Amino acid sequence: MGRIRGWVMRLSIRRKLVLYSYVIITPILLLISLLLLAHNYRSAVKKEENRCVQNVQNISDSISVVQKNIMEMGTYISINDEIRQILTADDPKEMNRDARLWQNRAPMQIIQDMVAIDGQIKSVALYPENGINPYLNCIDRSSSYLGDISQVREKEIYALAVQKKGKFLWQRVGRCQNDQNDTYQVNQNDKIVMYREIYDMARKNRLGYLVIGSSAEIFDEICQNSLRGRQESVVVMSAYGAELVRCGDIEDELLSDIIAENGSGLTGKEKVRKSACGIYNIYQCQDEDTGTIVYEIVRRVGWKDLSDTIIFAPLALLVGFLFGLYPVLMVVSDIVSKPLHTLRIAMENFMRGDFSQKVEVMTQDEVGEASACFNRMVDDIRELIDKNYVLAIRERESELDTLQAQINPHFLYNTLDSLYWKATESGNDEISEDILSLSQLFRLVLNRGDGIVTVRTEAELLERYLHIQKMRFGKRLTYEISLEQEILEEEIPKLILQPFVENAIVHGFESADGSYILRVTGIKDDKNMIFCIADTGVGMSGEQLEAIWDKADNRQYASQRIGRYAIKNVRERLELIYHENYALQIESRVGCGTTVVITVPCGLKEIRLNEHKITDCG
């Protein structure tokens, strides 16, 4: 263990990253492969089960079609009036004198035509209970029925047909040669035979015994064609337990268990049976009309049986991913180790006295932070090496700049105040009032550090600005500022109304002749304040209106600014302070003026206090 650790420690960072990646990723990929393996197995088993359920249903439907054709013929014979007259005749001896009784008095020619068209029925027999000679017709010429009703009555199948009171019974009859069975004296081909006892309308008196034989070949083909291999078998049973068809290899013991459970009410459900040869799934389907039950016996699918489909794909994915991962890990490790290598070279050069070393920061991860720290360290050491007098000069220059920044506004205010008093002493009241408005305007704009003011202060700023503009335009400009008393002490961001007022004057009034009106109104609506700046200027087209939103930083609109405030700036500050709880709308038409509507919520003071409380708690 110690040797392995020592070997790992001697590896380069690049190789360590590759090794550690494989150590971490391989178990994860193995787990994913196992989960995929289990999923594929369950999917394969489920798919096989669905196939078997559908297959047994298809077999049942196909056999049901054949049986229903036979049953329809049996029903036709049983309810035909001419045939029932023969079956209920009172003088059988007189009737028997006619050798062609059935051809002359019954529609046997129609029945023979139906048999010929169907092609499946090979024999038809009708034994009257009143002693009239039976109707016996074997189409295949290789079979012959029992010739006397007395012989038929001795058979077990006849007693069962009598017991079922007119229901259809089904039985497979095998070949027999000079050795009669329950149905035939001679039978060269296997048949599926339908039996039925015909009763009168009250179901009290027996009128006749009907036997219709169909070739068993079509039943065998239906079942045989549904099998996919030796692992499957199909057994078709009649409603009372007679075996009609058997295809495939099936153990007698397993078949006995299936027959013993016949009629248990589990039709359509899957059953599991174990035998010496393995575990089998039993799928069954019973037709409601014929009562015939189809069983499909399928050996349960195991891991080994599905190895090609469920094991190969996950293992191939695992191996392929591990091999394909190597070049990716090499590239990733190179991305990580290359900045470290560059940083190491820079440190070595710095140790040799080269204080101009700088490392380019290419990432924002830990390596990038280390590179940035190295660059800051180099700058700090270089500053420490600088002479003290350079630092002193820079400090004095900084102090001078600060002092000048404080002197300039005061110098401006003092100059304006001097001009104001000089104009007042000279009796120029109008000029002095204009100078006073300009001075107060500068004080309001420049001498307030806070970006939040009351509506009253903003209104005072508008009043001073419009007073100065009135000095330029004279009687051409008429303005009105109307604000409700309820909102005067509410707080709003500074300079959110003035840029729009200035824009109205510069673009709406300045470039045209005539008289113009500018109205600024403010009302309280529920919890909001609504400010409206409306002018009767030249207005704007749709393209110009879109340009205000899309091109607020373009030179074409540089005149829309006061200092650093412009229309785009106003919108950004509103969004920053109120988020989505504000509205800014601009409507304008050429020659009809422009209207700006700003809607902001009341209570900004409370909002700011809550934010400070949250910040202090944080």
3-state secondary structure of 98: coil
SS (H, E, C) 452-493: EEEHHHHHHHHHHHHHHHHHHHHHHEEEEEEECHHHCCCEEE
- Of the chain, the end-to-end C-alpha distance in Å amounts to 50
Q: Which residue has the higher pLDDT, 554 or 580?
A: 580
What are 114-152's pLDDT values in tens digits? 888 878 888 899 999 988 999 988 887 767 888 888 888
pLDDT for 203: 81
Distances (CA, A) of 309 to 53, 58, 281, 305, 553: 21, 26, 21, 9, 64
Residue 545 to residue 587: CA distance in whole angstroms: 8
What are 466-475's pLDDT values in tens digits? 887 887 787 8
What are 254-290's pLDDT values in tens digits? 777 766 665 444 444 455 554 445 677 888 888 888 8
Domains in the chain: boundaries: 50-221, 321-385, 388-447, 448-617
The two structure tokens encoding residue 359: 């490392």
pLDDT for 485: 93
Mean pLDDT of 44-54: 82
Q: Are strands 528-535 and 491-493 parallel, antiparallel or unpaired?
A: unpaired
The two structure tokens encoding residue 36: 């995929």
Strand partners, 195: 169, 211
Mean pLDDT of 30-57: 79
Q: How confident is the model at residue 96 (pLDDT cuts 50, 70, 90)?
A: confident
Task: Inform me whether the pLDDT recorded for 402 exceeds 70.
Answer: no
- The angle at the Cα of 314, spanning 309 to 316, to the nearest 5 degrees, equals 95
Q: Are strands 121-128 and 516-525 parallel, antiparallel or unpaired?
A: unpaired
What are 511-537's pLDDT values in tens digits? 667 788 999 999 999 889 999 999 988
pLDDT for 442: 60
Residue 510 to residue 195: CA distance in whole angstroms: 112
What are 332-379's pLDDT values in tens digits? 666 666 677 677 787 888 777 776 777 777 666 676 777 778 788 877
Mean pLDDT of 66-77: 90
CB 120 within 8 A of CB 187: no
pLDDT for 311: 63
Q: Which residue has the higher pLDDT, 217 or 618?
A: 217
- Global pTM reads 0.48
Q: Which residue has the higher pLDDT, 175 or 598?
A: 598
Q: Which residue has the higher pLDDT, 33 or 588?
A: 588
Mean pLDDT, all residues of the chain: 76
Where would I find the beta strands (DSSP E) of 200-326?
A: 206-215, 232-237, 243-247, 271-275, 278-286, 293-299
Q: Which residue has the higher pLDDT, 309 or 533?
A: 533
What are 179-219's pLDDT values in tens digits? 567 788 888 888 899 999 999 888 888 999 999 999 889 99
Owner of token pair 């200092």: 563
Domain spanning 448-617, CATH architecture: 2-Layer Sandwich (3.30)
Task: Inform me whether the pLDDT recorded for 407 exceeds 90.
Answer: no
Q: How confident is the model at residue 540 (pLDDT cuts 50, 70, 90)?
A: confident
- Topology of 50-221 in CATH? Beta-Lactamase (3.30.450)
Strand partners, 541: none
Other Cβ atoms less than 10 A from the Cβ of 239: the count is 18
CB 425 within 8 A of CB 459: no
pLDDT for 305: 55
